């Protein structure tokens, strides 16, 4: 049975970070947003759901000992596979060990759910670093989140791909609330232009969707320098223009008025029990 957590004070704020196209900056954003909140004393978890090369543990120079497959077979607890990053930031290296969350058996889903609910109790923020595109895993993470941050770049293909993701989440699953970050901008105001362009297409073809602009992140050489040293950009170059932009985005995220879960983390329960499988 899903745990009954009604009456608990408040669960974590759960955000999925997704994009239509790969290599647009999801992991960079997830790691640095998480670091920004962790450095401010919050309990933060990144759920690494992306099988990409530069995944969260690589970006932070951590080596997972166990993975989620070990939890599913009962070899260890979810808390045993957690890694601790800078400022106490927690990383769940989930990407290896299963190919699709949606293909888990009922008992595996239940096990994961119970473990995750126990873990989530003490957290302030959870960020799902999802794969790119519109695969079942991407949709799953987006549906198991309270809010969705979509990230794109000024490239036309990144924009059409993010539109495709919004479309499938809206048409197939009725998701109506999104936040947008435009990464890799080359001049001031470019992010807002891209946002308006996307909004126009959405209003014309999809209708009543709320798309909130969280901000843009400029192209900044120090982003890849930080990747090479396996430290968060915000900790290595706190004054870099991209760091300032990400801190502004973190500020915007704290202001997002999240609609309360109906029954605490039971929301997770419903999703995990196969509503969207």
Ligand X SMILES: Nc1ncnc2c1ncn2[C@@H]1O[C@H](COP(=O)(O)OP(=O)(O)O)[C@@H](O)[C@H]1O
For residue 230, the partner it binds in ligand X, Mg ion, none, with Cβ less than 5 to 8 A by kind, is: none
For residue 28, the partner it binds in Mg ion, ligand X, none, with Cβ less than 5 to 8 A by kind, is: ligand X
Q: Which residues contact 170 (CB under 8 A, 6 or more apart)?
A: 176, 206, 209
Segment contacting Mg ion by CB under 5 A, of 49-57, 87-95, 172-180, 261-269: 49-57
Q: Is 227 in the site for ligand X (CB under 6 A)?
A: yes
Of 201, 216, 212, which Cα lies nearest the Cα of 152? 216
Report the residue from 18, 95, 108, 183 that binds ligand X according to the rule CB under 6 A.
183
Segment contacting Mg ion by CB under 5 A, of 42-50, 65-73, 84-92, 179-187: 42-50
CB of residue 127 vs ligand X: minimum separation in angstroms?
12
Q: Is 133 in the site for ligand X (CB under 6 A)?
A: no
Could you tell me if 198 and 233 are in contact, meaning their C-beta atoms sit under 8 angstroms apart? no
Q: Is 51 in the site for ligand X (CB under 6 A)?
A: no
Report the residue from 8, 40, 51, 54 that binds ligand X according to the rule CB under 6 A.
54
Decide whether 11 or 131 has the Cβ nearer to ligand X: 131
Report the residue from 19, 32, 87, 146 that binds ligand X according to the rule CB under 6 A.
19
For residue 223, the partner it binds in ligand X, Mg ion, none, with Cβ less than 5 to 8 A by kind, is: ligand X
Decide whether 50 or 161 has the Cβ nearer to Mg ion: 50
Segment contacting ligand X by CB under 6 A, of 36-44, 104-112, 217-225, 259-267: 217-225
Report the residue from 13, 17, 21, 50 that binds Mg ion according to the rule CB under 5 A.
50
For tokens 């960020």, the residue is 127
Report the residue from 24, 112, 166, 182 that binds ligand X according to the rule CB under 6 A.
24
Positions in the binding site for Mg ion (CB under 5 A) = 26-27, 50, 52
């Amino acid at each position: 049975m899903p745990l009954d957590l009604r009456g608990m004070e408040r669960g974590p704020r759960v955000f999925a970070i997704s994009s239509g196209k790969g290599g647009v900056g999801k992991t960079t954003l997830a790691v640095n947003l998480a670091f920004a909140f962790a450095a401010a004393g919050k309990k933060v978890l990144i759920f690494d759901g992306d099988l990409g090369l530069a995944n969260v543990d690589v970006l932070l120079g951590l080596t997972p000992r166990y993975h989620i497959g070990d939890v599913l077979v009962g070899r260890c607890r979810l808390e045993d596979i957690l890694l601790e990053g800078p400022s106490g930031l927690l990383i769940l290296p989930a990407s290896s060990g299963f190919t699709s969350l949606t293909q888990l058996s009922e008992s595996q889903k239940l096990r994961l759910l119970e473990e995750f609910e126990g873990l989530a109790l003490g957290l302030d923020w959870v960020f799902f670093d999802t794969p790119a595109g519109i695969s079942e895993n991407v949709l799953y993470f987006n549906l198991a989140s309270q809010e969705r941050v979509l990230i794109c770049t000024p490239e036309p293909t990144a924009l059409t791909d993010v539109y495709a993701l919004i479309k499938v989440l809206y048409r197939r699953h009725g998701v109506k609330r999104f936040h947008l970050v435009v990464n890799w901008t080359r001049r001031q105001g470019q992010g807002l232009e891209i946002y308006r362009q996307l909004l126009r297409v959405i209003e014309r073809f999809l209708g009543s969707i709320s798309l909130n602009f969280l901000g843009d992140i400029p192209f900044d050489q120090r982003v890849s320098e930080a990747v090479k040293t396996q430290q968060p950009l915000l900790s290595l170059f706190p004054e870099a223009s991209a760091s300032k932009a990400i801190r502004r985005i973190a500020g915007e995220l704290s202001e997002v008025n999240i609609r309360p879960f109906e029954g605490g983390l039971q929301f997770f329960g419903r999703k995990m029990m196969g509503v969207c499988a």
